[in-house]
Amino acid sequence: MKAPRTQAARRETTRTELLQLGLERFPEKGFSNTSIDDLLRGSGYSKGAFYFHFASKEQYFLELMRHRVRGRGEWWRIAERPELESLHAVLERVYRAFNDGPQTGEGAKWVTIIADFALTARRSGSASRELAELEDGWMRELTAFVEALQARGFARSDRLAGELAQTVQALMDGSNLLLAVWSRPPSGMLDALVRILEPREA
């Protein structure tokens, strides 16, 4: 016989399911054009349930971003796997890790959604700072990935890992915007990343 679920467990389930709605519905219309009614429509949840867990749509979105971070796990450790014996093999595995999950194909949309939120958040110093902290966390992850590549001799060592991480991020954001705005799928992304990262001859 199953033990009865505690009130805390039910609340956590509700919170997780509310966050899942954001993953599904913000890509449809973006941050600004998605109302709380849009988020909740057809879910069986009320605005009361929403506001019990989140103070505002802005705070909900920030928690959704943290939820996405938790879902990534320690992805940068893919670079440490001994069975991946080249830079290209590591990048292919990372690409699959980010594109085979529940958010498959949504990377381009999320770049524009986050940009939409960032413009809105400028009116709130607190929300803007929290978003910047999340971005800093992502850059730390990307830098750790580049450092792991450098440690294996897969990435150039004549530039700091943080500098290379910024270049990689710029390429990815540009490619995602190209896809989101102009519906042009980027071609040769892995080859471009290899050219950015591969060791240089002395």
Is a pLDDT exceeding 70 seen at residue 139? yes
pLDDT digits (tens, 9 = 90+) for 57-111: 999 999 999 999 999 899 999 999 999 999 999 999 998 888 764 444 467 789 8
Query: Which residue ranges make up each domain of the chain?
Result: 61-197
CA 78 to CA 142: how far, in whole Å? Answer: 12
For the chain, what percent of residues have pLDDT higher than 90?
72
Cβ proximity of 146 and 155 under 8 Å:
yes
CATH class of 61-197: mainly alpha
Tell me the per-residue pLDDT of 9-56, one tens digit each, with 9 for 90 and over. 999 999 999 999 999 999 999 999 999 999 999 999 999 999 999 999
In this model, does residue 132 exceed pLDDT 80?
A: yes
The Cα–Cα gap between 106 and 189 comes to 16
Least Cα distance to 31 among 70, 61, 72 occurs for 61
> Is 172:198 a contact under the CB 8 Å cutoff?
no
Task: Read off the pTM.
Answer: 0.88
Task: Say if residue 146's pLDDT is above 50.
Answer: yes
Closest CA to 198 of 148, 168, 155, 145: 155
